[in-house]
């Protein structure tokens, strides 16, 4: 794959985020307490990349606790509506925005995570 500059990858990720994720997790990444967990300052988001890819690709439901607040909702799977490239871009964006500082993920990383 041709190398994409970090700035270009970030702009693509921001666009995917604002179109598909911000309605719940908010443009600020702060979420909505009790309904949609924050992605900003969330150790799951900046932690194990495989886990984050699995959540975004295949969805998540069940009780979780984020920054001291409980959530028990349902996140739709994105693997059927977004391309692996869009998923890689948006995950790289959320891992490096709002004070988060974790490594980006590649298209190959996204492709490799199976249900
Ligand atoms: C319809 C609302 C909605 C949209 C849109 C949405 N999410 Fe979520 N997301 C949720 C909910 C609700 C949860 C928590 C699920 C639970 O309680 O088990 C969640 C959880 C997550 C988590 C796991 C957080 C944790 O601490 O475990 C990540 C990462 C995430 N979302 C990223 C995204 C990304 C990236 C997008 C856009 C591609 C997105 N979400 C779009 C509702 C949404």
User: If we measure between CA atoms, which residue out of 101, 53, 100 comes closest to residue 79?
Assistant: 53
Low-confidence residues of the chain: pLDDT under 70: 1-6, 8-9
Nearest CA to ligand 1 atom 30: 56
The correct CATH number of 6-112 out of 1.10.760.10, 3.40.50.300, 3.40.50.2300, 3.90.1330.10 is 1.10.760.10
> How large a percentage of the chain has pLDDT more than 70?
92
- For tokens 């309605």, the residue is 23
The reported pLDDT for the residue numbered 10 is: 85
The reported pLDDT for the residue numbered 48 is: 98
Pocket of ligand 1 (CB under 6 A): 20-21, 23-25, 36-37, 39, 42, 44-45, 52, 55-56, 60-62, 64, 66, 71-75, 78, 90, 94
HSE-CB for 5 with a 13 A CA cutoff: 3
User: If we measure between CA atoms, which residue out of 99, 79, 95 comes closest to residue 6?
Assistant: 95
Cα 26 from Cα 43, distance rounded (Å): 18
CB 36 within 8 A of CB 25: yes
Q: What is the pTM of this model?
A: 0.95
Nearest CA to ligand 1 atom 42: 75
Cα 108 from Cα 19, distance rounded (Å): 23
Whole-number mean pLDDT of the chain? Answer: 94
Nearest CA to ligand 1 atom 37: 21
The reported pLDDT for the residue numbered 4 is: 59
């Amino acid at each position: 794959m041709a190398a994409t500059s970090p700035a270009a990858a970030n702009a693509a990720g921001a666009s995917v985020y604002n179109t598909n994720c911000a309605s719940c997790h908010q443009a600020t990444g702060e979420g909505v307490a009790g309904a949609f967990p924050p992605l900003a300052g969330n150790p799951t988001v900046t932690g194990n990349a495989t886990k984050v890819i699995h959540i975004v690709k295949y969805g998540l439901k069940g009780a979780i606790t984020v920054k001291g607040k409980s959530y028990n909702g349902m996140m739709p799977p994105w693997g059927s509506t977004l391309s692996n490239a869009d998923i890689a871009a948006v995950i790289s964006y959320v891992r490096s925005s709002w004070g988060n500082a974790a490594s980006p993920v590649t298209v190959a990383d996204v492709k490799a995570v199976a249900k």
